Amino acid sequence: MGLCQQDIIHRYRLNWQAIQQLLRNIEPQLAPSLQTPRTIPPETKLLAVLHMLASGSFQTTGALAAGISQPSFSAFLPKVLDAIISLTAPHICFPYTQQKQQETIQGFYLINGFPHVLDAIDCTHVRILPPAATEHLYHNRKHTHSINVQAIVDHQGLITNIVAKYPGSVHDSFIFRHCTINQHFQDGRYGNGLLVGKYRKLLIYTLNSNPLGHTTHTPRHRHVDRNTLRL
């Protein structure tokens, strides 16, 4: 490629080994059915898309970096994105098994002595250029346009769950209340496990806010509700 490792990471947010591994995983989905002199190799397609994603810029930026036209880039962009997304399930997975839960709990305990922590949760605003028809939905409290992304990570900082479908005007608490993980919490799927987040921004959630099946007007339940409203 002609770039040092540091420059590769700066341009693509991945090192060369990770890029090659990703390419091996998705190359069958990107390979053209017919080879012609104008066929764009899978590696070129992947590098162009990674550069666009890493730079947070437009299609033209990725196209120029790869030495191809913007229309050509636009034609293969959806296929590359779909191929990358197809790999998420094995790698972005909340600790459902008992063994994985114990590993994560032990990992958090070794970090700060906090018991029963399964994962950590937070939301962040990712700036975008909003769609013209629904611009107002993406206007956030910082007076910019964004999507509000909820991410859950384990003790190693690896993402185990992500929700990235809400515009910037949507509150953190709404996202959590309507996500699948929250429903699992309410079902008591994780026993005494905890999710931790920032005070006054994201609270410490018990995964079973009503463990005994009694009335929801218990001090513990009121504590969860009161803090949830602060999200």
Do 215 and 104 sit in the same domain of this protein? yes
Do 110 and 131 sit in the same domain of this protein? yes
First-to-last CA distance in the chain? Answer: 45
Do 133 and 216 sit in the same domain of this protein? yes
Q: How does residue 199 score in pLDDT terms, banded at 50, 70 and 90?
A: low
Please identify, among 61, 88, 115, the residue that sits at the C-terminal boundary of a domain: 88
Range of the domain at 139: 92-228
Dist CA 64 CA 39 (whole Å): 17
Q: How does residue 158 score in pLDDT terms, banded at 50, 70 and 90?
A: very high
pLDDT of residue 198: 74
Quote the number of domains for the chain.
2
On whether the pTM is more than 0.75, the answer is no
The winner for highest mean pLDDT among 15-29, 89-103, 190-204 is 15-29
The full DSSP string for 132-167 is GGGGGGGB-TTSSBEEEEEEEE-TTS-EEEEEEEEE
Bigger pLDDT: 105 or 216?
105
Do 201 and 119 sit in the same domain of this protein? yes
For residues 137-157, give the mean pLDDT.
95
Average pLDDT, the chain: 85
Residue 1 has pLDDT above 80, yes or no: no
Bigger pLDDT: 197 or 218?
197
Do 64 and 132 sit in the same domain of this protein? no
Q: Any bridge partners for residue 206, and if so which?
A: 194
Do 78 and 110 sit in the same domain of this protein? no
Do 135 and 109 sit in the same domain of this protein? yes
- The one-character DSSP state at 37 is T
Please identify, among 49, 73, 88, the residue that sits at the C-terminal boundary of a domain: 88
Do 45 and 69 sit in the same domain of this protein? yes
Q: How does residue 32 score in pLDDT terms, banded at 50, 70 and 90?
A: confident
Q: Which of 72-76, 151-155, 202-206 has the lowest mean pLDDT?
A: 202-206
Residue 119: closest CA among 100, 146, 139, 136: 100
Q: How does residue 12 score in pLDDT terms, banded at 50, 70 and 90?
A: very high
3-state SS assignment for residue 206: strand
Q: How far is CA 51 from CA 62, 158, 228, in A?
A: 6, 22, 38
Which residue's entry shows tokens 């591994």? Answer: 21
Do 121 and 164 sit in the same domain of this protein? yes
pLDDT of residue 208: 43
3-state SS assignment for residue 63: helix
pLDDT of residue 34: 78
pLDDT of residue 225: 42
Do 135 and 206 sit in the same domain of this protein? yes
Do 197 and 210 sit in the same domain of this protein? yes
Q: How does residue 95 score in pLDDT terms, banded at 50, 70 and 90?
A: confident
Residue 163: closest CA among 126, 134, 118: 126
pLDDT of residue 205: 52
Instruction: State percent of the chain over pLDDT 70.
Output: 85
Angle subtended at Cα 178 by Cα 95 and Cα 218, rounded to the nearest 5 degrees: 85
For residues 4-29, give the mean pLDDT.
94
Bigger pLDDT: 201 or 79?
79
Please identify, among 54, 88, 122, the residue that sits at the C-terminal boundary of a domain: 88
Do 78 and 131 sit in the same domain of this protein? no
